[in-house]
Amino acid sequence: MWAYFDSSAVVKVYVQEGGRAAVLRLLRQHEVVASAILPVEIRGALRRRAAENVIESARLPSALQQFAKDRTQWNLLAVSTEILERAEQIVASHTVRTLDAIHIASAQEFAERLQARVPFISADHRQIAAASAAGLIVQQVGP
C-alpha cells in the first residue's frame, strides 16, 4: 500500500527524535512515494542538524550513506508545471512553506492518478492542517 511521506517524517529515520518509531513502523507498512525534492530536503536537513550538533558530525557520513541506500527504494515524483500550479493555489489559501505546498500538491496528484486515498505522513503541524483541508488523509508523526 502506498503512502506519501514528507521530509519532516523521513528525516526521523536518520535522527533520534520524537516520532521516529512511528515513522519506522509506517515505512515497513507502506511503499514510499514523495516529491523529487525530498532527497534535497533530507540531505540539507541532515547537514543542518550536524552543524547544529543535533547529530554528531562523526555520524553524518553513515547517515548519508544509509540515506543514499534508502532512496533507491523510494518512488519520487517529478515536479511538474501542474504540481507547481497546485502548490501556488495551496500557498494562496494556507499558511505553509513553499516546499510543504509542493509536497501536498504532489500527494494530491498521485492520489488522483491512482484514484485512491493515499495517506499523507508528516511531522509538520501547519502542513498537516493544509493537507487535511486539501482533502488528504493525514497522519502526523512526532512533535
The pTM of the full predicted model, rounded to 2 decimals, is 0.94
For domain 2-140, give its CATH number from 3.40.50.1010, 3.90.980.10, 3.20.20.60, 3.30.470.20: 3.40.50.1010
- At 55 the pLDDT is 87
The full DSSP string for 95-108 is ---HHHHHHHHHHH
- At 56 the pLDDT is 84
Mean per-residue pLDDT pooled into runs of 10, the chain (143 residues): 96 92 96 97 94 87 94 96 97 95 98 94 96 96 82
- At 57 the pLDDT is 82
- Domain ranges (residues) in the chain: 2-140
